Amino acid sequence: MSVHRSGTAHHPRLLAVGILLAAFSLLSAHPAPAATTPARGSAHMGMGVLAHDGQNGTPRTRATQTEGVDVSSHQGNVAWSTLWSSGVKWAYAKASEGTYYTNPYFAQQYNGSYAVGMIRGAYHFATPDTTTGATQANYFVDNGGGWSRDGRTLPGALDIEWNPYGAACYGKSQSAMISWISSFLTQYKARTGRDAVIYTATSWWTQCTGDYGGFGAANPLWIARYAADPGTLPAGWSYYTMWQYTSSGPTVGDHDKFNGALDRVQALANG
């Protein structure tokens, strides 16, 4: 007489299904890491602010501040007339990055803001790990970052912040970073006659320059902080000239406050 022993027989198909289910379970428990390094050229002003400093409230209303925006290729063709109607009076457009990238929308953004009546400027996203500061200053000026005394063109801005492609300080010591920034600023002034604006965040500046205070006397500060106020400023600056306060504003994400009425924006443009 045959005896059935429960649980001792394994059908081949059932065994195969079990193996597949186990494999899928392992994959779901340990998903493959997603690629997090963006493509070279895709960086933009404030790219690292939320990740490193977070967001802590919205600005308190001040009557003497003038609304502005900053844009890059991420915004494409910008609705400048809409921004102008909403009260935006000045704008910066990304012109270049390193010595390998220029913004394909730069003409529409730089000239379009000017055409509706805004005071406009250009900025350069610094990559201190690729070429020297002077080399990048020349590239910036040669690709839209110059200045003209027309009363409506702001001096170029150096966007120096967290490295989106690698180590936060681009593999440089604090002293080497200071030297790189100085090289850029010196060459920019030699080419244009203007002192460039420095865009940065206090936490990055402290980490990567040791909170160096030597640029505050000449270079206007554009501080990045998404909060109710700009917070503690980097050493050397007793006040900020511009403040990027959000990456989620209307029409385009990055909105800014100029620390003064419109006539102060015009004064910076006039030099």
Active site members: 70, 159, 161
Please choose, from the candidates 153, 69, 84, 86, the residue with its C-alpha nearest in 3D space to the C-alpha of residue 116. Answer: 84
As a whole number of angstroms, the distance between CA 175 and CA 224 comes to 22
Give me 57's structure tokens: 């409230």
Contact by Cβ (8 Å): 243, 256:
yes
Closest-CA residue to 109 (of 254, 210, 266, 269) = 254
Task: Select from 145, 172, 142, 174 the least CA-distant residue to 157.
Answer: 145
Strands 197-200 and 101-102: unpaired
